Amino acid sequence: MMNLPFQMRMKKYSILLVDDDDDILFHYKNILCNNDFNVDCVSYGEQAVAKMKEKRYDLAILDIMLPDIRGDKLALELRAIDPNILLIFITGFSYMDYCITALDIGISEILVKPLTATELINSINNNLPGLSHCAPSDPVRSYRLRAHLP
C-alpha cells in the first residue's frame, strides 16, 4: 500500500465516491481508508447531491454512467454546490468524447476501470494539494486533462 507518512499529510482529506457498482464502492473505499482518507460512498447522483449539501468534500470521484444521471451532469450539480471541489471521472469505457466535456467542467482526470490501488492513489495524490510528490498515474489507463488543446 502507498501510505503517506503522517508528517507529510497536513490534513485528512475527505472524498465522495459515487459509483453504482457495490463491489467497486467497497474495494475503492477500502483502498482509500487504508491510505488515511475520509470516504463517503453513494450509488446515485441524487444521493451525491444530498451528501454535498450536508458536508464539504475535497474531492469527488464520479462514475460517468450512473442509473439516474450522467457523470458530467452530476459534476455540474456538484460544482454549483461547491465551485472548488476537485473532480475525477471513473469509467469502464473509453469515452474520449467526454474529455472535451470534462475539460469544460474542470474535471482533473478520467480513469479507466478497473483501477489498481496504485493507480487510484496516484491519481488522488496528483490532484489534491500537497500530495503531488507521488509518481504519475499510468498514462495508458488515465486521460490527463491538463494538456494543451490546439
Residue 114: pLDDT over 70: yes
Query: Position 80: which residue type?
Result: A
**According to the model, what pLDDT value does residue 50 have?**
98
CA distance 124 to 108: 10
Query: pLDDT tens-digit profile of 91-109?
Result: 887 666 666 677 778 888 8
Mean residue pLDDT across the chain: 81
**pLDDT surpasses 90 at 57:** yes
Whether the full predicted model's pTM is greater than 0.85, yes or no, is: no
State the amino acid at position 13 in one-letter form. Y
Cβ atoms within 10 Å, residue 132: 10
pLDDT band at residue 3 under the 50/70/90 scheme: low
Q: What architecture does CATH give domain 17-144?
A: 3-Layer(aba) Sandwich (3.40)
Alpha helix ranges (H) inside the chain: 22-34, 45-54, 71-81, 97-105, 117-127
Q: What is the pLDDT of residue 147?
A: 37
pLDDT of res. 131 = 57
